[in-house]
Chains A and B, each alone.
Chain A
Amino acid sequence: MGCICALGQNLRETVDNLLAGVVRSTPPSRIPSDLNTRYPVFEVGPHPGLTEHEDATTLRTSQLLAIAVDEAMEGLGSLLRQVDPLRIGTVFGTTVGCAMNNEDFYRQYLEGSAPDMAPITRYLRNNPALFIRERCGFQGIAQTVNNACASGTDAIGQALSWIQAGLCDVVIAGGTDELCRVVYNGFVSLQVYSESAPKPFSANRTGLNLGEGAAVMILARPELVPEAHGYVLSYGSASDAYHPTAPHPEGEGLVEAIRQAMTRSESTVDQLAFINAHGTSTYDNDKVEGAVFDRVLQGVPFFSPKAQTGHTLGAAGAIEAVITLDLLNRRRLPASAGFEEQDGEIPCRPNTEPTTITQNRAISTSLAFGGTNSAIMLEGKA
């Protein structure tokens, strides 16, 4: 597994800081804006794999992903060498990494200065799944998943399906997204962006903060790996078919996604150590998610890391999947940062104190614009 986000430059540092309650939100340093408010973001700090300024050939989204892939592949050289490259797939979630929205190019286009094609050529070479396939010399299926905020979870779920269907022996799966002005302005315009730090599930929550990062899981057929970090047991996905941006008020799709993940992994509620909640700190998401947890996973502790990672969009589900698996292996559950007050509309509350866990399974949920809901069931190493 590999991970880079505002909390840390690798998975160990990320989870150490998560458990320590570290919060590193700042005004955006890389997003120009003429808004009166400098809405906070969760930026990734300097890293040798990240260029300080926009790179001529590689998007920051791809740079973040490459860092996470390299961490995940450490020590796996012999595994990857024994597998036919045609049977190694790549699947990553993203939002920014697939959008042809280079602002400088478009401003020049509008101004009539016949912009150079370099930013478009770079965009065409940076589809995350194709980028990593080429970079690593793999030859299997490569696809980027664009299910908005559920993309990372769905990418891992699709990787599981590919292996179960016999399409791949190994899949490099995860998600990646960088902070950019387009998405920043988009979420501010939707009036779901908080001027202060996120407070998932808290009565006084006022919205989300965006973040950036990438995370990767390498999934393999069990017989190829003598010692795994853990297991992706199942994947559930369902749609609300209710509204373009708001979740179904009863969480219909989320209930179904959780049901599928529970059923397919033959899990029972008492086997779950915790729920990694999507918990964006928006009014609608947290209200619906809390109600669903109380209804179908009653009593299972839950937390959201988004007060510490920010909402990393297409990377979120992947970052939270690797965090979840690492927490299972450490037997630890963090406090849900940012939670302050019980919300009378939410019949349960997130975990408020770091805790030791005994069970070895956890479920991670994601909700997205477009009404997509996803859940994956993870199990720590024995």
Chain B
Amino acid sequence: MIPETPIVVTGVGLVGHFGDSPEALKTAIKEQRPGSTSAVQHRYGNLPCLLADPSGLKNYLPSKQLRRMDKFSRLALYAATLATRHASVPEGASDKPTALIVATGFGAIQTTFDFLDSYIEGGDALASPTRFSNSLHNAATSAISLMLKLKGPCATITAFEHSFTNALLTAYSWLHEHRVDRVILGAVDEVCPVVAYCWEQYFGTQSTQVQPANFTDHTAIPGEGAAFFVLERASDTRSALARIEGINSHPSTVPVIANHPVVYLGNDGSQTTGGRYQSFVAQHRGSTHSISPHIGSFPTAHAFDLAAAITRVFEDEETAATCVRFHSDGWASSIDLSHC
């Protein structure tokens, strides 16, 4: 889909294993520094994961307000705060109608299990109301809306690996129809012990280093983080980081062809999709990059590919780029962007 109404990115906020800024991600990529895994304990062992630290949020919001907030919401709120500051969005986005859209693959999964714990341990009568309300998929969206005083339309969207691309399409539709003049769009997912257990059950092996170019072995590592973007219509803004040129979701029957020579690929060491990445790399006549060693694997990781590409395009290292992800269900997503 080529946007009929051109849209641009005016701010980016990130928190991932690499740190909490586009610069930190850029440095990690430049230094080719592999992520340092942390062992996530589950009931039957532990699994190396690439975790993200949202503790920097306390520099922006009073600790008292964050006391009851779980890690899932903190990750999202931190990245959303950084993105709005990067784009100089005034408090409460009071200058123009602003929407908030959050994409997530699994939602507040740790708090979901914490809620189950509350009544499995103590009986149904001891179910925790706080954990219940924080376990809803829109808990992070609610926290951002509340803390950043955003009063526009809000949406929480989930479609596993398709979540971010489709949320971006919805953001585009809202800007196109002038429902709002700005969209704060984000993606967030977290690791928890049950996810670690499931990962081991599905993939069997434990990797300590993601090898994106190894298309046959399973070297993927679970990761987590949040990436947020501020989007506006190109006609409404003078300064922007990059322009979104195309947003596509490809069924397995449609070949993925990158529109630009520079491609950020989502090859994360997953055996399931390794063959498709291998074929793509073999046919592509430009350069490919993977940031998976710095973020790990999670359903909404496509958002980080976009952030990395935006940084590179904005700093004039490239004029344009395409972000491509092949999904485990056979589909693929691609986002084209260019210098403004």
Residues of A within 8 A of B (CB): 33-36, 86, 95, 98-101, 103, 106-107, 109-110, 112, 114, 117, 120, 124, 127, 129-130, 139, 141-148, 154, 158, 161-162, 164-167, 181-182, 185-191, 237-245, 252-253, 256, 368-372
Q: Per-residue 0/1 for B6-37: is the Cβ within 8 Å of any A Cβ (1 yes, 0 no)?
A: 00000000000000000000000000000000
User: Is the Cβ of A241 less than 8 Å from the Cβ of B133?
Assistant: no
A–B complex contacts, Cβ < 8 Å, 17 sampled = A33-B124, A95-B136, A110-B120, A127-B158, A143-B158, A145-B155, A146-B156, A147-B141, A148-B137, A161-B170, A161-B177, A165-B173, A182-B116, A186-B129, A190-B132, A242-B146, A245-B133
Partner of B154, one of A129, A130, A239: A239
Q: Does B125 contact A (CB under 8 A)?
A: yes
Classify chain B: how many residues form its interface, as a range.
Answer: 35 or more
Which 6 A-B pairs rank lowest in CB-CB distance, beginning with the nearest?
A: A370-B142, A146-B137, A186-B132, A165-B173, A237-B153, A185-B127
Q: Which residues of chain B from 288 to 321 have any CB-CB distance to chain A below 8 Å in the complex? A: none
Given contacts A35-B124, A252-B151, A368-B138, are A143 and B145 in contact (CB under 8 A)? no
Indicate whether A101 sits within 8 Å of B112 (C-beta atoms), given known contacts A143-B158, A189-B127.
yes
B115–A165 touching, CB < 8 Å: no
Q: Is the CB of A106 within 8 A of B141?
A: no
* Contact string against A for B residues 160-193, beta-carbon threshold 8 Å, 1 for contact and 0 otherwise: 1011001101101110110100000000000000
User: Contact partner of B157 among A106, A120, A145, A368, CB < 8 A?
Assistant: A145
Q: How distant is A74 from chain B, measured CB to nearest CB, in Å?
A: 26
Are A165 and B176 closer than 8 Å at their CB atoms? yes
Residue in A139, A143, A253, A368 whose Cβ sees the most chain B Cβ within 10 Å: A143
Question: With a CB–CB cut-off of 8 A, which chain A residues contact B249?
Answer: 141
Residue of A nearest to B43 (CB): A109
Of B124, B149, B173, the residue contacting A185 (CB under 8 A) is: B124
CB < 8 Å: which of B129, B159, B173 contacts A191? Answer: B129
Indicate whether B274 reaches chain A with its CB closer than 8 angstroms.
Answer: no
Q: B325: shortest Cβ distance to chain A, in Å?
A: 15
In the complex, what distance in Å separates the CA atom of A162 from the CA atom of B160? Answer: 20
Whether B1 is near chain A, meaning CB under 8 Å from some CB there, is: yes
**A189 is contacted by which of B129, B134, B155, B176 (Cβ under 8 Å)?**
B129
- Knowing A141-B169, A143-B158, A143-B167, say if A100 contacts B4 (CB, 8 Å): no
